[in-house]
Amino acid sequence: MQTLLIKNCAAIMTGDRVTPRAAGGDIRIRGSRIVEVGSLTAEPGDTILDARGCVAYPGWVNTHHHLFQSLLKGEPGGLNLSLGDWLAATPYRFRAAFDEETFRIAARVGLTELVRSGCTTVADHHYLYWPDMPFDGAAILFEEAARLGIRFVLCRGGATQTRTLEQALPAALRPERFDSWMADVERLVARYHQPAPDAMRRIVMAPTTPLYSLSPGELRESARLARRLGIRLHSHLSETVAYLDAAQDRFAMTPVEFCAAHDWIGEDVWFAHLVKLMPQEIALLGASRTGIAHCPQSNARLGSGIADLVTLEQAGVRISIGVDGAGSNEAADMQSEAHAAWLLQRARRGMTAVPRYAGGEFEGGGDAASIEDTVRWGTAGGADVLGLDCGRIAPGMAADIALYRLDDPRYFGLHDVAIGPVACAGRAPLRALLCAGRMIVENDQIPHCDLAGLGALAAACVKKLRQRIPGGR
């Protein structure tokens, strides 16, 4: 087995809660695994990678994305809207405009952006499905991820219900039949799913939202099938107060209570957002060890609010970070997302501060979340939610490692270089990015990736999409 020795890191962030920083600056990798971390001596046969001046992070684990939206950044019709109106104005208005070419370029743009931020694992909540659609989005997504050499988790979304009469809908907005959807999940599991903890490909059961996408009976049946197939479960939940109102009006429950009543909580389940929760819902989620994909930039952009990660984690909820779609997050990369998560947890806690004379116990939220917390949520936390043994720099773990160069003025003057990639925002250039021990980025270059050409393709696809929508130009 080939052995790679990464030498002279200025700092190593491990992703571990107990020991968030490694002693020493060296990492030895044999094959696809980390075998030693510390102050190491080169051995015969070692290939040396000099990381002088760099900081090492585990590869980021993005637990919630919508890659097709990579061609919908800053779409004017939805730029200043909240969630409900934005859904109609942007992703659903453009849904029928996507064909195989535009979908592939969208996936390529989004995955390339993520890789350049140091991300090595992507879970895409792919809900662009309708009956008799002319291309296989799942195959395209797996192909594009394989081109880049990253781990890819397909969260197979969709819906069997719509709030509009089906006969009045264009084909691309019509719901699927439940039996056809479940049969496709079984097909995808047989073709792609790897159950091992070092998997490069996974399939997840992922209706778009439990409250609207399936009937209660179908929701329970989807959970039953997922567990029979040995796959995990994922969906959107409680992004806005509208979820609370809808669950109360339709089912006389809170959203989390509804999910619990239909077998949709547990260690094999994680939800995106969870911004608006009642105390009893937090207790249910924590007791069941359900996970969250926290999407701070999208939640801020849509005006939805800030999920309370500190309280959720204290209750037992497993925390991870997701980018969400680029249609509601124009910086759809994990470094930007981690920076936002760090700042917004502090802002959220500061908003709850009250004066001492009124019984307040703290002045602000400056200690609500540390850089180490944020790195852990975005790496080991995501790996735990997905059931993978990446996300940590430690012996025995998968060798998914980002080496960031801090040679830009943005990082000059740092007293603690380890925090630079998160604290200073922006995109730190990569000395190297490894996934399963294989170098997929070297000296900030992705092999065989023509960024200028990709930009031109993306611009042409945006023009096509706009021409295909009603009133577009």
pLDDT of amino acid 337 = 98
pLDDT of amino acid 392 = 98
Bridge-based pairing state of the strands 46-50 and 3-7: parallel
Query: Does 76 lie in the same domain as 55?
Result: no
Q: Mean pLDDT, to the nearest integer, of 139-157?
A: 98
What is the tens place of the pLDDT at every residue in 435-464?
A: 999 999 999 999 999 999 999 999 999 999
What is the tens place of the pLDDT at every residue in 87-145?
A: 999 999 999 999 999 999 999 999 999 999 999 999 999 999 999 899 999 999 999 99
What are the structure tokens assigned to 70, written together?
Answer: 């990579």
What are the structure tokens assigned to 33, written together?
Answer: 């695994």
What would the 3-class secondary structure string for 336-380 be? HHHHHHHHHHHHHHHHCCCCHHHCCCCCCCCCCCCHHHHHHHHHH
The total number of structural domains in the chain stands at 2
Query: Does 67 lie in the same domain as 7?
Result: no
Nearest to 431 by CA among 43, 3, 8: 8
What are the structure tokens assigned to 444, written together?
Answer: 């900030």
Query: Does 405 lie in the same domain as 366?
Result: no
Q: Is residue 46, in this structure, part of any structural domain at all?
A: yes
- 103 neighbors 128 (Cβ within 8 angstroms): yes
Q: Is residue 334, in this structure, part of any structural domain at all?
A: yes
Query: Does 134 lie in the same domain as 48?
Result: no
Q: Is residue 382, in this structure, part of any structural domain at all?
A: no
- Could you tell me how many residues make up the chain? 473
Q: Is residue 249, in this structure, part of any structural domain at all?
A: yes
Query: Does 217 lie in the same domain as 167?
Result: yes
Residue 401 belongs to domain with CATH number:
2.30.40.10
Q: Is residue 455, in this structure, part of any structural domain at all?
A: no
- 111 neighbors 126 (Cβ within 8 angstroms): no
What is the tens place of the pLDDT at every residue in 334-360?
A: 999 999 999 999 999 988 877 778 777
Whole-number Å distance between alpha carbons of 277 and 282: 7
* Residue 413 Rama label (left phi>0; alpha psi -120 to 50; beta): left
Whole-number Å distance between alpha carbons of 53 and 420: 12
Cross-strand partners of 294: 321
pLDDT of amino acid 123 = 99
Domain membership of residue 136 as a residue range: 60-373
